[in-house]
Structure 1
Amino acid sequence: MLDPNELETEIRNLEHWQQVAFSAALTERMFNNFALFSKLMEFGDLDRMRTVLDGVWGELAQNGSKLNYDVQLGHVDDNLVDLDEFDTFGAIPARDAMLALYSTLMCKLEKEASDAVAVSNLSYETVSAYIEFAEANDQMSDEELIRMINSHDMMLDEDAFQSEVLEQLNGAKQNAATISALRELGENQGISNIGISDEE
């Protein structure tokens, strides 16, 4: 894994629009975790959540779209999965995706770097939880589990993805081309940070 302290420092050193764009790119990659869960469980308002995230991208690209962030925060809050209601692992990454969207909106609204850091952490936590769910066993010690998670291909992919987003943002200008490239990176050919496509 990347050094969490170094990663946080890099995120905090970004300009405010870059922090929002970083958050949006990670949220975009996580979004299918919510989309598939929403379709399978007939939960929440997937179209509205897609529209909210599209609106963030639109504002970043300065295409004239405007979001009422206070209203949208309420809508996202309504789509947070209650883990007590669903006895399925998919509820966890679905909730994380909406928490990431919430933090992205808060990053834009409050201009706090800590919200972008929270999105970074959420994406890592989703990957970590999935690896533990899919591959851990009762015989593993805590040290073995941590070692397995940190060296897992999916975690290394998460490192590479967050590094690439930061690399694209460093020194970048806020324009439609920059935002379009970041969005395409976040879309990740329709595959989420835990390998989920909403077409499944």
Structure 2
Amino acid sequence: MSEPLKLEKQLDRLESWQLVAFCAALSERMFPNFALFSRLVEFGDHQQLRGILDGIWNQLAGTGARINAEVQLDNVEASIPDLDEFDMYGATPAHAAVVGLYSTLTCVIEGDVAEAVEVANLSHECVAGFIEISEGDDQMSDEELVRFINTHELMLNEEAFVDEVLERLRGQRQPTAAFIRELRTLAENEGVSNIGISDEDG
């Protein structure tokens, strides 16, 4: 994925349902970050949020009842971890995952490009932050760190994933059940998140 402006232009050309599908795909890929955190520290309701994300996918595919996105916003907001309360790194990617789901629900309501850009930024920053925390070197200059992050395998995977989602969406006029199922399978990534985390019990 490239520069934010280029991404915004690409998203600008999408229909409302495609924007929701884009948000759902990135939220799906971030979700294990929250599910694992939620279980480990017993914070938030990862099963309820899992159900909300499932509901968004089902609504896109036309295989389930329409979700009441306005009502679900409050449920998602209640599970956003306060980063001032948790003195552990895992709260940060968990926070990004839940805020991403919140933006996805907002996109269901408004079909707004800004929400899709927000989810993409959250996911990108989540990966960048993880690389810096886990492998960054204090001796690196700012330029070296940026280069290290941008060429890291996790970031290359992130950008390839976003490009793949956009390419699939651009080639699809209607949200058929089969198309949404395949997009969801891609996003699930066999249960591995954008930063390589898996929640086995999720």
RMSD: 1.1
Q: Secondary structure at the match of 1:101?
A: helix
Q: Quick one: distance in 1 between partners of 2:193 and 2:107? A: 22
Alignment of 1:14-29 (within 5 A): 14-29=14-29
Cα displacement (A) at 1:140: 1.4
2:162 aligned partner, one-letter code:
Q
Which residue does 1:30 correspond to in 2? 30
Does the alignment pair 1:187 with 2:188? yes
Alignment of 1:102-181 (within 5 A): 102-172=102-172, 173-181=174-182
Cα displacement (A) at 1:123: 0.5
Q: Quick one: distance in 2 between partners of 1:121 and 1:178? A: 25
Identify if the C-alpha distance between structure 1 residues 140 and 100 changes in structure 2 by more than 3 Å, giving closer, same or farther: same
Q: Say if 2:150 and 2:156, in contact at 8 Å, map to a contact too.
A: yes
1:128 aligned partner, one-letter code:
A
1:136-181 CA-partner distances (Å, limit 9, x unpaired): 1221111111111111111010010000001111131211011101
Q: Quick one: distance in 1 between partners of 2:195 and 2:170? A: 26
1:130 aligned partner, one-letter code:
F
* TM-score of the superposed pair, with normalisation by structure 1: 0.97
Q: Quick one: distance in 2 between partners of 1:16 and 1:188? A: 24
Q: Secondary structure at the match of 1:44?
A: coil
Q: Quick one: distance in 1 between partners of 2:198 and 2:10? A: 30
| Unaligned stretches of 5+ residues in structure 1 | none
| Unaligned stretches of 5+ residues in structure 2 | none
**Identity level (%):** 56
2:9 aligned partner, one-letter code:
T
Cα displacement (A) at 1:3: 2.6
Q: Quick one: distance in 1 between partners of 2:112 and 2:181? A: 24
Which residue does 1:2 correspond to in 2? 2
* 4+ runs deviating over 6 angstroms: none
* TM-score of the superposed pair, with normalisation by structure 2: 0.96
1:194 aligned partner, one-letter code:
I
Which residue does 1:69 correspond to in 2? 69
Which residue does 1:91 correspond to in 2? 91
Q: Quick one: distance in 2 between partners of 1:88 and 1:162? A: 28
Cα displacement (A) at 1:68: 1.2
1:18 aligned partner, one-letter code:
Q
Identify if the C-alpha distance between structure 1 residues 111 and 33 changes in structure 2 by more than 3 Å, giving closer, same or farther: same
Q: Quick one: distance in 1 between partners of 2:49 and 2:64? A: 19
Q: Quick one: distance in 2 between partners of 1:70 and 1:168? A: 28
Q: Quick one: distance in 2 between partners of 1:160 and 1:111? A: 24
2:180 aligned partner, one-letter code:
I
